[in-house]
């Protein structure tokens, strides 16, 4: 890939991440990580797609749910 193709691929991945997170599509967010990817936040660390999805479900409020 060229530098421009690399940059475009990164932008596409970031856009997919943002759109999926905004829509609370946590499995889609997790699918953007490698199988053994690690997501580190102030809430802790998740290793692997299943753990990343579970962490998101536990910390991101879903519209229409809750008090």
pLDDT at residue 12 above 70?
Answer: yes
What CATH number is attached to the domain comprising 38? Answer: 3.10.450.50
pLDDT of residue 52: 98
Residue 28 lies in a domain: yes
Please give the full DSSP string across 4-48, using - where no structure is assigned.
Answer: HHHHHHHHHHHHHHHHHHHTT-HHHHHHTS-TT-EEEETTEEEES
- Reported as a single tens digit per residue, the pLDDT across 29-38 is 999 999 999 9
Residue 22 lies in a domain: yes
Residue 33 lies in a domain: yes
Residue 64 domain-assigned? no
**% the chain with pLDDT above 70:** 94
Task: With respect to residue 66, please indicate whether it lies within any of the assigned structural domains.
Answer: no
- Dist CA 52 CA 60 (whole Å): 12
């Amino acid at each position: 890939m060229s530098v421009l193709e690399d940059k475009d691929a990164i932008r596409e991945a970031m856009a997919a991440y943002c759109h999926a997170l905004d829509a609370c599509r946590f499995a889609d967010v997790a699918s953007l990580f490698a199988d053994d990817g690690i997501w580190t936040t102030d809430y802790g660390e998740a290793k692997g797609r299943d753990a990343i999805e579970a962490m998101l479900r536990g910390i991101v409020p879903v519209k229409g749910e809750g008090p």
